Amino acid sequence: MLRTTLLAVLLAITASVSFASVAFARPADDAKQDDSTADKAPSDDGKEEVEPRDSIWNTTEDPTKPYRYIGARYRHVVVPQFVLNLFADGGTLSHVPIAGLEFGSRRNHLEYIVSLSYADYATGDLMFKGADEPEDAWEIVNSDLGVIFAKMEFLYEIPLDKKSRFAFLIGGGFGIGGVVGSLYRAQAYPKQPGADPADPTQWGRCESADVPDAVYCANDNDHFGKFEEKSWANDGSKPIVFPWIALPQASFRYKPFKFLQARADVGLALSSGFYFGGSIDYIL
């Protein structure tokens, strides 16, 4: 529910910004402003259209000057099952919402963005086992894990009009995240013959060695009940940090007003999966 709400709010804000840029009419006497306080740009019919420098409608940017902004962002990562199966058997298609704040700057068509965000990696019950382990090695795994990411993105801007309202950006980014929360695992036994590992409800957690199944509830580890996995710092397998490498990323920016912009992003996170999202920023 939280994931859907975050995405819906971001899309609603973007839509309202786009509507506002169409709904407000320019003052009819804009063209009468003195040239000393106006920027000139060619209109569609070849005539020059005059925009006051202090007008919210004057979105034209000087590429030699820096433009800085701050705002909110959202990413939605889709983790395909085949990515999980590079490391283990089992799992399923997963979704990871990431929300946070960003600060960016651009000059000479080069843009960098620094962000701080929280990623929700919590899951329900999933079935996992090592790729080379036998069928009686299945475990039920779930988590309330989260990752606090610090990231930096580098993008090259390709203007799509002369008034700096529309631009296409291409690039990538990297970052590192600190892992918080708990990871739980337990040896699993089939509740019925031919239980399907794709359906965790057909499996139960082993209570202790040989209970309730002597074959599946082996005495080779202490993963019983709701065992909480230790972190790397305590000789466990739960990571302490998680990398973020995004390449490529493609973005589209829309600047309806002098002080406001919206950006839509799509890309590939090599350590996670495909992602899409966007941001709303106030230009300082």
In the chain, % of residues over pLDDT 90: 74
105-149 per-position pLDDT tens digit: 999 999 999 999 999 999 999 999 998 899 999 999 999 999 999
Instruction: State yes or no: pLDDT of 216 exceeds 80.
Output: yes
Confirm if 106 and 157 have CB atoms less than 8 A apart. Answer: yes
pLDDT for position 131: 87
pLDDT band at 52 (very low <50, low <70, confident <90, very high): confident
- Rounded to an integer, what distance in angstroms lies between the CA atom of residue 120 and that of residue 181? 10
Confirm if 69 and 283 have CB atoms less than 8 A apart. Answer: yes
Q: Which CATH architecture has domain 2-23+31-283?
A: Beta Barrel (2.40)
Structure tokens at 52: 């006051």
What secondary structure, in 3-state letters, does the chain show? CHHHHHHHHHHHHHHHHHHHHHHCCCCCCHHHCCHHHEEEEECCCCCEEEEECCCCCCCCCCCCCCEEEEEEEEEEEEECHHHHCCCEEECCCEEEEEEEEEEEEEECCEEEEEEEEEEECCEEEEEEEECCCCHHHCEEEEECCEEEEEEEEEEEEEECCCCCCEEEEEEEEEEEEEEECCEEEEEEEECCCCCCCCCHHHEEECCECCECCCCCCCCCCCCCCCEECCEHHHCCCECCEEEEEEEEEEEEEEEEECCEEEEEEEEEECCCEEEEEEEEEEEC
Instruction: State yes or no: pLDDT of 33 exceeds 70.
Output: no
pLDDT for position 153: 98
**Taken in order 268, 272, 277, 278, is the CA torsion positive or negative?**
negative
pLDDT for position 271: 84
Looking at the DSSP bridge assignments, the partners of residue 241 are 178
pLDDT for position 189: 96
Give domain limits for the chain. Answer: 2-23+31-283
Average pLDDT over all residues of the chain: 86
Lowest pLDDT segment from 165-169, 220-224, 253-257: 220-224
**Taken in order 5, 256, 279, 101, is the CA torsion positive or negative?**
negative
pLDDT band at 47 (very low <50, low <70, confident <90, very high): low
Lowest pLDDT segment from 44-53, 55-64, 73-82: 44-53
Mean pLDDT score, 271-277? 93
Instruction: State yes or no: pLDDT of 238 exceeds 50.
Output: yes
pLDDT for position 54: 84
Instruction: State yes or no: pLDDT of 23 exceeds 80.
Output: no
Confirm if 74 and 10 have CB atoms less than 8 A apart. Answer: yes
Rounded to two decimals, the pTM is: 0.80
Say how many C-beta atoms besides its own lie within 10 A of residue 14's C-beta. Answer: 17
Instruction: State yes or no: pLDDT of 38 exceeds 50.
Output: no
pLDDT for position 230: 94
Confirm if 251 and 265 have CB atoms less than 8 A apart. Answer: yes
